[in-house]
Structure 1
Amino acid sequence: MDILFLALALVIVLQFFKRREQQQRVSLLGSYLAPYQIEQQMERLLDGYLRWLGEDDAERRAQIRGMLDGVEQSLSGQFARFAADVQAMPAPLAQVSKLALWIPFAQPLLPGRLLFDVRRAFAIHASGIEAMVRREDTPDAKAQAYALSAELLLMQHTCHWYCRGWAVASARLLARHKTPHAQVLASVSPRTRADYLALTGRR
């Protein structure tokens, strides 16, 4: 009985510190995101792509596409500024565990090979989003919309990974967008995928 009680007490204590650590990260990342409307514009863009692809009237489809062009430009610019702002984040707070599960107190003790710098990850995402908006590699509008959607979902996954851990981020991606992490990663540009894998090691 004593062992069970101690085990339960340990679980409760670890959960408390886990939530506290995660909330600190949510607050920190939120402070960098606060000046921007990145999440709102991302949702607007993803919903707009569905409307555009489902529209039968050619004139209306062109109108929607024109509106989406403006949202893409705004979102790309805002995320580039956010990624630049995040470079001021203190290095110890920018480290992210590559482990699937969040372990309280573990992050400062992990060796460098089990960590990555989220500032570098956001720079990769900013570059990938900008390239897709400029249609450097995907001149076809539908292919560009699909690839840019993947770039945005991978970026959102990184935000959740930083705040909650890889497993929770992947579960949220699947629950919200019905898309597994592996599919998103396969759908971004080859440059984003190569840089992301080199940094995080996560497929």
Structure 2
Amino acid sequence: MDVLLGLVLGMVAVTVLTRSEARRRIALLGGFLRKYQLEKHMTQLTDGYLRAAGEADPERAGPIWRNQEATEAVLQAELDGLADDLKDVWGERLRVSRWPVGLPLATRLFPQASFDFRALVQLHAQGLARALRNDDGLSLKDRAFRATAELLLFQHSCHWFCRSRTVASARLLALHQTAHEQVLASVSPATREGYRALTGV
């Protein structure tokens, strides 16, 4: 009975600490995101891409594609700004556990099993820039597809930082009907290689 009670109390303590750490992380990242409108602009851009890609008439699709350029520029500036803002934060506060589930104090107790979120955001900013520059000379539709994948992977990383990799992947699937593996396969090779080297995924 004492063993069972101890296990229950231990599980309760872990749950409370995990939720507390998640709230702290959400507040930390949210404080930086508050000055930007990344989510709003991501939605605007992906909706615009879908409209342009769905237009069968090239003459009508052209203006729709061009109309996305302003939103693309704003998104890139905001993501670059976020990456710059995070540079001044104490590194330990922005460590992310590589483990699939969130456990309290995991990044402090097992720092070798964690990575720097600042480096990951910088990687995402560079990945979006490559996609928008269209370094690989993709078609408009393929360029839009890649840029969307870069943004979805960034969103996944934010959820991973706040909660865990498993929760982030579940949210990605629920919100966009897209698996994490599919998104990772759709970003540029440079982003994918850098992401895997940093996160271990």
What are the residue-to-residue correspondences of 1:11-50 with 2, within 5 Å?
11-50=11-50
Instruction: Tell whether 2:173 aligns with 1:174.
Output: yes
Aligned length: 201
Instruction: Tell whether 2:89 aligns with 1:89.
Output: yes
Shift of 1:57: 4.1
**In 2, distance between residues paired with 1:137 and 1:81?**
25
**In 2, distance between residues paired with 1:64 and 1:8?**
57
Instruction: Tell whether 2:124 aligns with 1:125.
Output: yes
Shift of 1:5: 3.2
**In 1, distance between residues paired with 2:141 and 2:56?**
15
**In 2, distance between residues paired with 1:148 and 1:86?**
22
Partner letter of residue 27 of structure 1? A
In structure 1, the gaps of 5 or more residues are: none
**In 2, distance between residues paired with 1:79 and 1:105?**
28
Shift of 1:59: 4.0
Tell me the secondary structure at the aligned position of residue 100 of structure 1: coil
**In 2, distance between residues paired with 1:129 and 1:7?**
46
**In 2, distance between residues paired with 1:143 and 1:87?**
32
What are the superposed Cα offsets for residues 94-113 of structure 1, whole Å, 9 maximum, x if unpaired?
1110000111122201042x
C-alpha contact 1:96 1:162 (8 A) present in aligned 2: yes
C-alpha contact 1:160 1:168 (8 A) present in aligned 2: yes
Q: Provide the residue aligned with 1:197 in structure 2.
A: 196
What are the residue-to-residue correspondences of 1:24-173 with 2, within 5 Å?
24-112=24-112, 114-173=113-172
Q: Which deviates more from structure 2 when the two are superposed, residues 93-102 or residues 53-62?
A: 53-62
**In 2, distance between residues paired with 1:149 and 1:43?**
10
Partner letter of residue 5 of structure 1? L
Shift of 1:87: 0.9
Shift of 1:35: 0.9
Tell me the secondary structure at the aligned position of residue 135 of structure 2: coil
C-alpha contact 1:151 1:188 (8 A) present in aligned 2: yes
Q: Which deviates more from structure 2 when the two are superposed, residues 5-14 or residues 67-76?
A: 5-14
Tell me the secondary structure at the aligned position of residue 68 of structure 2: helix
Partner letter of residue 37 of structure 2? Q
RMSD: 1.4
Shift of 1:29: 0.4
**In 2, distance between residues paired with 1:111 and 1:88?**
20
